[in-house]
Amino acid sequence: MSVEMLYEKDVTTNYLKGKKVAFIGYGAQGHAQANNLRDSGVDVIVGVRPGKSFDKAKKDGFEVYPVAEAAKKADWVQMLTPDEVMSDVYKNEVAANLEAGNVLGFSHGFNVYYKEIVAPENVDVVMMAPKGPGNLCRRTYMEGSGVPALYATYQDASGHAEDLAKEFAKANGAARVGLLKTTFKEETDEDLFGEQNVLMGGITALIETGFEVLTEAGYSPQLAFFEVDHEMKLICDLIYEGGFAKMYNDCSNTSEYGSYTRGPRVINAESKEAMKRNLKEIQDGTFAKEFMDEYRGGFKKLYKYRSEMEKSELQKVGDELRTKMPFVAKADKYSD
């Protein structure tokens, strides 16, 4: 089912005017959205715990408060902490400070969809989910553009929650390039599915496996890295610019024919069934429960997986080769 794309001309209401918006969290998305909305004329404050993010928000010129105080001062509380800690932050510092008529906003549906957060009935619950990382949201906004965004309403206490979500997205710059209506369920299902099966889980497994096949067959790790890892960005850039048609047009007939005939041997019916299983576990809450249990148990598996990834031959070879390529931006390891 297709949905209509909306743009700035389609967002004509003004319910956001006069509202004080508190951003709870000042990481990648919090920083980008807070600055974008302030530059769009919205009254913005930031609520974070003392530390790096608190200091950064202060340096950027915001009024910064402890989370509970920021929530109490605001008309709109935008929750932008990591998924796993959000429910604790909400229950311990936000919930008691919400008032009738407030807006509780999100940029991902996880906590609301899986009922980690259950808002009181007298507040609006909305979502504005940019389809891009925070640094890109900020950069494109400053360039006069933006990244597309999804908007949704979970609870409409005021009678104009949907308009508020659209206005918030417009103030973030998203309506310059397109807004799509969704639901908390749909956004959560599709976002988790994309991350797990294609954008992160799928692509990293594909790169790692390709690297292993080549090196185990005796090929140079350095050549294998350039072939299956480094060039991935270049191919994805072509797809981003013009879809598969541009990508194939800019590559050789040999690579195109090989892609059509050999690619399905790797990503095939068995892969599709695995994706369907993963989607089912997202839909029925199995993944969410597993993830939150993992967090509450101290992230033992996550830290083990992360350590193994960082020590892998592919990561080591890539780290070494990237130091020789000045055109590759230096990574800020573990930055938020």
Side chain identity at residue 294, one-letter code: E
The burial class, CB within 10 Å (0-12 / 13-18 / 19+), for 163 is buried
CB 20 within 8 A of CB 77: no
- 231 appears as a binding residue in the annotation: yes
Note the CATH number of domain 5-182: 3.40.50.720
DSSP string covering 210-256: HHHHHHHTT--HHHHHIIIIIHHHHHHHHHHHHHHHHHHHTS-HHHH
Sheet holding 124-130, edge to edge: 5-6, 179-181, 149-155, 124-130, 103-106, 76-79, 20-24, 43-47, 63-65
pLDDT at 330: 59
Q: Is 255 annotated as a binding residue?
A: no
Q: What is the mean pLDDT of the chain?
A: 95
Whole-number Cα distances in Å, 21 to 62, 265, 280: 12, 51, 36
For the purposes of burial, counting CB atoms within 10 Å of the CB of 69, is it exposed (0-12), middle (13-18) or buried (19 or more)? middle
For the chain, which residues score pLDDT lower than 50? 332-336
Quote the pLDDT of residue 87: 97
* CA 79 to chain centroid: 13
- 27 annotated as ligand-binding: yes
Task: Give tens-digit pLDDT for 43-68.
Answer: 999 999 988 899 999 999 999 999 99
pLDDT at 335: 43
Residues with catalytic roles:
108
Q: What are phi and psi of 148, to 5 degrees?
A: -60, 160
- 262 annotated ligand binder: no
Q: Is 335 annotated as a binding residue?
A: no
Estimate the share of the chain in helix, then strand, then coil, as percent rounded to the nearest 5: 60, 10, 30
- pLDDT value at residue 329: 62
Q: What residues contact 189, with CB distance under 8 A and at least 6 apart?
A: 279, 282, 283
What is the structure's pLDDT at 327?
Answer: 77
53 annotated binding-site participant:
yes
Task: Indicate the domain borders of the chain.
Answer: 5-182, 199-267+299-332
Give Cβ neighbours of residue 142 (< 8 Å, ≥ 6 apart): none
Provide the terminal-to-terminal Cα distance of the chain, rounded to the nearest Å: 35
CA-wise closest residue to 110 among 276, 336, 271, 295: 295
Q: Is 283 annotated as a binding residue?
A: no
pTM of the complete model: 0.92
- Is 167 annotated among the ligand-binding residues? no
